[in-house]
Amino acid sequence: MPETVPNAVPDAQTGNWVDRSAPQWLKPYARLARWDRPIGVWLLFWPCAWGLGLAAVANPEQGFDWWAAVLMFIGAALMRGAGCTFNDIVDRDIDDKVARTRLRPIPSGQVTAKKALAFLVLQSLLGAVILFQFNRFTVWAGIASLVLVAIYPFMKRITWWPQAFLGLAFAYGALVGWSSQMGGLGLAPILLYAGTILWVIGYDTIYALQDIEDDAMIGVKSTARLFGPRAKPIIAGFYAGAYVLWLAAATIAGAGIVFALISLVVAGLLAWQVWTLDGAEPGNPLLRFRSNHYAGLGLALSLAFLAEWVW
């Protein structure tokens, strides 16, 4: 019989390092920051890597800034943790009513809202240290993104499109990555950002299919509920739009047929997600959601390959 882990969150990966090895005092805070579910860190980081890669394609003499990528990964881990902590503080009454979330640290009583707030401040301050390693434009752009982080948890209460607001926040790294190298913005990173917003809407709609019944009972809105039986073709449309915009961004930055060919692997993975998606099958949406990590990795490697070796 598998060992039961006390207070483990249902959608955390079995055998994750938090449940297995973290000290008892740290576990509730690690779960608040979702360290037991690192997929969110990757999904926040990959747009940063894409922005860095796109800038490297546009300015091949400079190459891919690997140190900036390391800093942005640390920053993504910190700010994703801070965002999740803030989300759990705001949603503590809702989380208590949803099967997938009622064991989160605040609704289950492992951490008080006041202690969670202190943890949020600590993560945010460490994230600020990372942000201030970059140029002034990027610093101000990063600060501006906090508005999106702050309003997102409230959107499920007032709009059917909370996934769009998550997209605005989670795609923001595309602008940060580019501006950290170029000192400003342009058409290419804006198209990259727009495409990434569509990607996030697509994958978070897949994720929200897990909660569609609980959300309906408590009145929480989502694109999964809004789209209903049309979810698969609509997600396909978002993914197609994302790919077209990514291709346009790369083309404007100077990428050619090589990128278009390599990136077909990413397009194929997104198509597989939609083709095999079954919201009624337990575990099916979560597996397809998690596979977006490999879509992000594939696009990042495509851009880095062009910047480092093709040119």
| Segment 137-152, tens digit of pLDDT | 999 999 999 999 889 8
pLDDT number for residue 5? 56
* Residue ranges making up the domain that contains 215: 22-310
Whole-number Å distance between alpha carbons of 186 and 184: 7
Q: Does residue 273 belong to any structural domain of this protein? A: yes
Instruction: Count other C-beta atoms under 10 Å from residue 129's C-beta.
Output: 12
Res 166: pLDDT: 94
Question: What pLDDT sits at residue 295?
Answer: 95
Does any domain span residue 15?
Answer: no
Query: How many structural domains does the chain have?
Result: 1
At residue 241, the pLDDT reads 97
Domain assignment present for residue 40? The answer is yes
Contacts 24+ apart (CB under 8 A), 23-31: 27/110, 28/105, 28/110, 28/111, 29/105, 29/111, 29/119, 31/7, 31/104, 31/105, 31/110
Sign of the C-alpha dihedral computed for residues 309, 247, 181 and 300 taken in this order: negative
CATH number at 253 reads 1.10.357.140
Q: Residue 108: its pLDDT value, please?
A: 81
Residue-level pLDDT at 104: 81
Asked if residue 65 belongs to a domain, the reply is yes
Is 23 buried (19+), middle (13-18) or exposed (0-12) by CB count in 10 A? exposed
pLDDT in the model for residue 2: 41
Q: Which regions in the chain score pLDDT beneath 70?
A: 1-14, 98-99, 308-311
* HSE of 1, CA atoms in CB hemisphere, 13 A: 3
Q: What's residue 14's pLDDT?
A: 67
Establish if 1 belongs to a structural domain.
no
Determine, yes or no, domain membership for 17.
Answer: no
